[in-house]
A and B are shown apart, each in its own frame.
Chain A
Amino acid sequence: MSSATDVAFDDALKFISLSPPPGFLINIGQRYLYRRPWESHRGLLTGLLLNDVSLSEQGASSEINAKIEMDFADSDIVEIDGWLLSLTEARQYALLSLSDSQG
């Protein structure tokens, strides 16, 4: 069974148009953490992302998507390199970037 963190990674990779290369997402994630260094912990980010999300793989994916849509509805937006992203998706990329830097 995948871990909660893996589910978040998978979902992160479903980012928007033209399937941006993971490097792009990792860069966005790094920029997010540069602004919010206190979130630079895998455990913390996973917790923030999966708070209130069921842990089955399918459930997590669609619930995270719903969370992203809800962020936009609630104006929970972060600006990174000019991109206007939902807080949840920015945290996904942050998590991706942490995992990347940890090998």
Chain B
Amino acid sequence: MLIDARKLDDDSVLQGDICIVGAGAAGISIALDWLHNSTNIILLESGGFDYSPDVQALNDGQTTGQKYYPLQSSRLRQFGGTTAFWAGMCTQLDEIDFKTRDWVADSGWAFSKSELASFYARANEILNIMGEQKLHHYIDSKYASRSINSNKVWNKLWQHSNARFGRDYRQEIVKAKNITLVTHASVVNIECNSSISKVVSLETKNHSGKTHKVTSKKFILAAGAIQNARLLLASRSQAKNGIGNDFDLVGRYFMEHLEVDSSELWLSKPFDASLYTRQESRLIASAEIAIQEKIQKQYQILNGTVSLTPLNYARLVKPRIQTWRDKDPRKAMRTMLSDWSAASRIVNAKDTSPLNAYQLSTRLEQAPNRNSRIQLLNDKDSLGLAKVKLHWQLTELEKKSLRAIQMIVAEYFGEMNLGRVKLSPFLTSDSSANDFGDLSGGWHHMGTTKMNQDKTKGVVDTNCKVHGIADLYIAGSSCFPTSGSANPTLTLIALSLRLSDHLKRDLSV
């Protein structure tokens, strides 16, 4: 069923069994998991089915610290969420990402990777990608040489999902008898009972000036890592620091993936790099050079992977942090893509043979860091909700890890007598510790409601329930205690499906 909240009577109250806030990758994945049963699901979505500048402006905010994209254009507010323009790159986290590493403060998940195995399999179906075994067969059959594998490095395989949740799942959601999708319903407040141990209702507003309430047995925030934290922090009429924030953790530990051109690889011998370059159109799968777990431990570094781009092309492309500057996500995307096409045109027009060299770009895990955080501003959005400030802060561990990864990759290519690596200037030994060059983020927001069984160390418990609040859950990458270096969506869907299973047990469905 579909309701446009702008057309509902003012002050109406909607009642459900499970209320999901946000119809993006996480929220829709959970809703799909409840199709065709008797549980009444209310799926609240801030936007409509199409892009709307007014609604998009609700994402506006400030950034300080490490240079970042405008917050307004780093997420989409419409049914389907940010998958309407994501790149679709998927891979699982590695086993090490779940472990406590004594060289990474606050690392470690409450469970190992195997706990997510069955949920990854279900997430693959939602994202329309292959299972691991099929993927390996595909790569073996398509790429003759999968040579990168040693005691230092290994091939990490990626898949490219073409899923657009808004397009792919709209009909199924709208037609489902037990699901009520409410568009133009932006949650602006979480109201709890007097002891703040249970949610009483959610308040939603829209640009038609109407306010509604939703009551439910269970509530799930699935609005993205920045908005999940914002909603908890901004619901402060009963708890002065916000809901679930007794230990000053909400909004802290914001993590992104560092994505940066980190070195050049100059080859002395032929090397088939096609698997690593993502140069094909309609790409299905690719690989990045990953660092073996024992080497990460030996060097005491964060997890990261390296991809290759032909250098003659890469040198013409501007770092994304320079091209993605517009607050309007459509314009930001257009500027970035036209920079890429201009570079391709120049490369294709040139009559010269390509350089036997590649740009190495590193995708790095960010270390959990209390001071990298989301906070509320005094300024409010058009629906009266306090805007947020993101302070993105990196540490010397990221810098050290970026450098070490280039060394490890250089060792591999040197040992194989294939070529030599030259560091980007910001990574040379005489660069300053806080110089990160033209570092971009992956538009991956994580960690702001991190999971830990101990309520003094995490906002949610291992079932993604907010500590101290009986019926409030969080879905998405805001629950990640560490980020790994894998893009988050596949894992956040797996984690959301795990939450969904937990709720089925809890509600005896």
Binding site for B on A (CB under 8 A): 16-18, 65, 68-69, 71-73, 75, 77, 79, 81-86
Given A16-B420, A84-B421, verify A72-B428 contact (CB < 8 Å): no
Which range holds the interface residue count of chain B? 20 to 34
Residues of B close to A69: CB separation below 8 A: 414-417
A72 contacts B268, C-beta separation under 8 Å: no
A79 contacts B423, C-beta separation under 8 Å: yes
Residues of B close to A16: CB separation below 8 A: 266-268, 419-420
Residues of B close to A84: CB separation below 8 A: 263, 406-407, 410, 414, 420-423
9 further A-B contacts with Cβ under 8 Å, apart from A16-B268, A16-B419, A69-B414, are A16-B420, A17-B357, A18-B266, A71-B414, A72-B411, A72-B413, A72-B414, A77-B414, A82-B424
B425: interface (CB < 8 Å):
yes
Kindly report which residue of chain B lies nearest to residue A35, judged by CB atoms.
B429
- Could you say which of B356, B357, B422 has the most chain A C-beta atoms within 10 Å of its C-beta? B422
Residues of A close to B417: CB separation below 8 A: 65, 68-69
A77 contacts B411, C-beta separation under 8 Å: yes
A82 contacts B419, C-beta separation under 8 Å: no
Q: B interface, by DSSP: helix, strand, loop or mixed?
A: mixed
A-facing residues in B235-289 (Cβ within 8 Å):
263, 266-268
Residue from the list B263, B410, B425 in contact with A72, Cβ < 8 A? B410
Kindly report which residue of chain A lies nearest to residue B356, judged by CB atoms.
A17
A86 contacts B422, C-beta separation under 8 Å: no
- Complex CA gap A68/B418 in Å reads 12
B428 contacts A68, C-beta separation under 8 Å: no
Residue from the list A17, A72, A82 in contact with B267, Cβ < 8 A? A17
Given A72-B414, A75-B411, A84-B406, verify A18-B428 contact (CB < 8 Å): no
A79 contacts B268, C-beta separation under 8 Å: no
B428 contacts A77, C-beta separation under 8 Å: no
A75 contacts B407, C-beta separation under 8 Å: yes
B46 to chain A, nearest CB (A): 47
A-B contact pairs, 9 of them (CB 8 A): A16-B266, A16-B419, A17-B267, A17-B356, A69-B415, A72-B410, A82-B424, A84-B420, A84-B421
Residues of A close to B357: CB separation below 8 A: 17
B420 contacts A85, C-beta separation under 8 Å: yes
- Complex CA gap A84/B422 in Å reads 6
Residues of B close to A82: CB separation below 8 A: 263, 422-425, 427-428
- Residues 387-422 of chain B, each 1 if its beta carbon lies under 8 Å from chain A, else 0: 000000000000000000011001111111101111
B332 to chain A, nearest CB (A): 31
- Complex CA gap A83/B415 in Å reads 15
Residues of B close to A83: CB separation below 8 A: 420-423
- Complex CA gap A65/B421 in Å reads 17
- Could you say which of A65, A68, A79 has the most chain B C-beta atoms within 10 Å of its C-beta? A79
A74 to chain B, nearest CB (A): 9
- Residues 428-445 of chain B, each 1 if its beta carbon lies under 8 Å from chain A, else 0: 110000000000000000
B411 to chain A, nearest CB (A): 5
B429 contacts A79, C-beta separation under 8 Å: yes
B421 to chain A, nearest CB (A): 5
Given A73-B411, A77-B410, verify A17-B423 contact (CB < 8 Å): no
B404 to chain A, nearest CB (A): 10
- Complex CA gap A85/B419 in Å reads 10
A68 contacts B414, C-beta separation under 8 Å: yes
B221 to chain A, nearest CB (A): 46
- Complex CA gap A71/B415 in Å reads 8
- Complex CA gap A77/B422 in Å reads 12
